[in-house]
Chain A
Amino acid sequence: MSTPKEPAYRKRVGYQAVLLGGFSTLATALLVAGNLATREDILARQQEDLLSSLNQVVPAETYDSDLLNQPLTLQDDKGHDLTVYRGLHGMKVNALAYEIVGQGYAGDIRLIMGINADGEVLGVRVLAHAETPGLGDKIELAKDDWILGFNNRSLTNTTEQQWHVKKDGGEFDQFSGATITPRGVVGAIHQGLKFFQAHRDELLDPPTLTETTVSHADLPLPPKTQE
């Protein structure tokens, strides 16, 4: 680079500018090409991820439709959009799955919960959290089976007071050294069930399936309800 016989043009500002501009253009072109080449694969992988996390909270035998097809968007009580995935069995909405958020010790705990048409929890799993490793991370199924304790719970078989951790006079265990994390998770699931109760009719109203909204039609679809 620092050869003694450096050509004079290299010292000019114009050359430097063209060099920087050229490299920026080249970099942009490369990134666009990379994005085009990988976009569809990445999208497909993300759908697979979503489906596999949905299938953890909604057992595959409870529905025979495509879970990712025609998700419902509703507003929760705080005015945020909430995407609800619906599993149909025949023409009836049999299982629902949606994301809930709990306040943990270190920020939001994002969870996904599955619920059946009777308002019973089918399953809950943690999607993302930043809780302390070794203490609060027992909410992950990989670390502890605590999260399975919510299965089959509903607003009817567990009272308002019981929807708390034991320390607050409720039903659910807290962890030694971590109470805030399980408190946040219990609260979020309780809120999730209340959301179901409040929007029961909308949620259980079977969607009208149209060909155009079918993004990946490898799964058999239930018959159409509209002409």
Chain B
Amino acid sequence: MSNDYKRLAKDGIWDNNIVFAQALGLCPLLAVTGTATNGLGMGLATTVVLVASGLFISLLRGIITPQVRIPVFVLIIAVLVTLVDMSMNAWVHDLHKVLGLFIPLIVTNCAILGRAESFASRNTVMASMYDGLMMGVGFTLALVVLGATREMLGSGTLFANAEMLLGSWAKAIELTLIPDYKGFLLIILPPGGFLMLGFIMAGKRLIDRSLAERQARMADDDAELTLESTS
């Protein structure tokens, strides 16, 4: 069982990462990742919705029939997002001012419907919530990495305005890497998001390939060793 959960974590964060492996949720991704802080906020909000939709959809999987599942899933996700939007507006208003524009975009993140359809509708409540959490962590990670890269290259800062999201202690992680940087406009605009995403995905594939090669070499070595010892 614990192996399953380890598998889920590895899938969500690396092997089957929503952005870098499945290439889903690109609409909110490109819209918000101008800065690392926005990416982090969007990632956290999406994680909340992923976990909650995992909970409700796996709870209701016994009564929802395959014929009507899609509209019901969409309805559940839309209600969750709207409730998150309203409660953030009312009770964490400063954060909502930063992220408000992007919260409704969560509905357009097909990764959430994808997880509901392919995982939560056929697994237990615990596993579905855990899967949602791990997929959300993977998504957050992707958003922060992409946001940080674009922010560093595009505006020469890192985690600008983080105190609006995380409280006053976060002033410490707000960095100006290049003072008097004139900015690199292309990277801040959506095309720059596509470019950076492409580079990062290529990087991930290179790492995956070198890992696979190393594993294959080790398997070969093992095979040779066993051959030598048997001969």
Interface residues, chain A, CB within 8 Å of chain B? 1-2, 10-11, 15-16, 19-20, 23-24, 27, 30-31, 34-35, 37-38, 41-42, 45, 48-49, 132-135
Contacts and interface: CB of A to CB of B under 8 A. Distances in A.
B66 to A, nearest CB: 6
Q: Interface on chain A toward B: helix, strand, loop, or mixed SS?
A: helix
Contacts of A135: 185
A24 B90 CA distance: 25
B87 A34 contact: yes
A196 to B, nearest CB: 30
B68 A134 contact: no
**A-B pairs with the 4 shortest C-beta distances?**
A41-B90, A38-B90, A45-B93, A38-B86
Contacts of B230: none
Given A23-B76, A31-B83, A48-B93, 14 more contacts: A1-B65, A11-B65, A19-B64, A20-B68, A23-B72, A27-B76, A37-B90, A38-B90, A41-B90, A41-B91, A49-B97, A133-B185, A133-B188, A135-B185
Interface string B74-95: 0110110011001101110100
B25 interface: no
Interface of B: 34, 61-69, 71-72, 75-76, 78-79, 82-83, 86-87, 89-91, 93, 97, 121-122, 183, 185, 188-189
A30 B63 contact: no
Contact of B82 (A34, A48, A132): A34
Given A134-B185, A134-B188, A34 B93 contact: no
Given A38-B86, A41-B90, A31 B79 contact: yes
B83 A42 contact: no
Contacts of A15: 65
Contacts of A10: 65
A185 B122 CA distance: 56
A35 B188 contact: no
Contact of A20 (B72, B86, B90): B72
B85 to A, nearest CB: 9
Contact of B66 (A2, A20, A30, A31): A2
A134 B183 contact: yes
Contacts of A134: 183, 185, 188
Contacts of A132: 185
Contacts of A35: 86
A113 B91 CA distance: 29
A37 B90 CA distance: 9
A23 to B, nearest CB: 5
Nearest to B94: A45
Given A2-B66, A10-B65, A34-B82, A20 B71 contact: yes
Nearest to B79: A27
Contacts of B121: 1
A31 B67 CA distance: 25
A176 to B, nearest CB: 11
B94 to A, nearest CB: 9
Contact of B90 (A2, A19, A45, A48): A45
A105 to B, nearest CB: 14
Given A10-B65, A16-B65, A16-B67, A42 B86 contact: yes
A147 B88 CA distance: 31
A172 to B, nearest CB: 22
Given A1-B122, A16-B67, A27-B79, A42 B183 contact: no
A1 to B, nearest CB: 6
A30 B65 contact: no
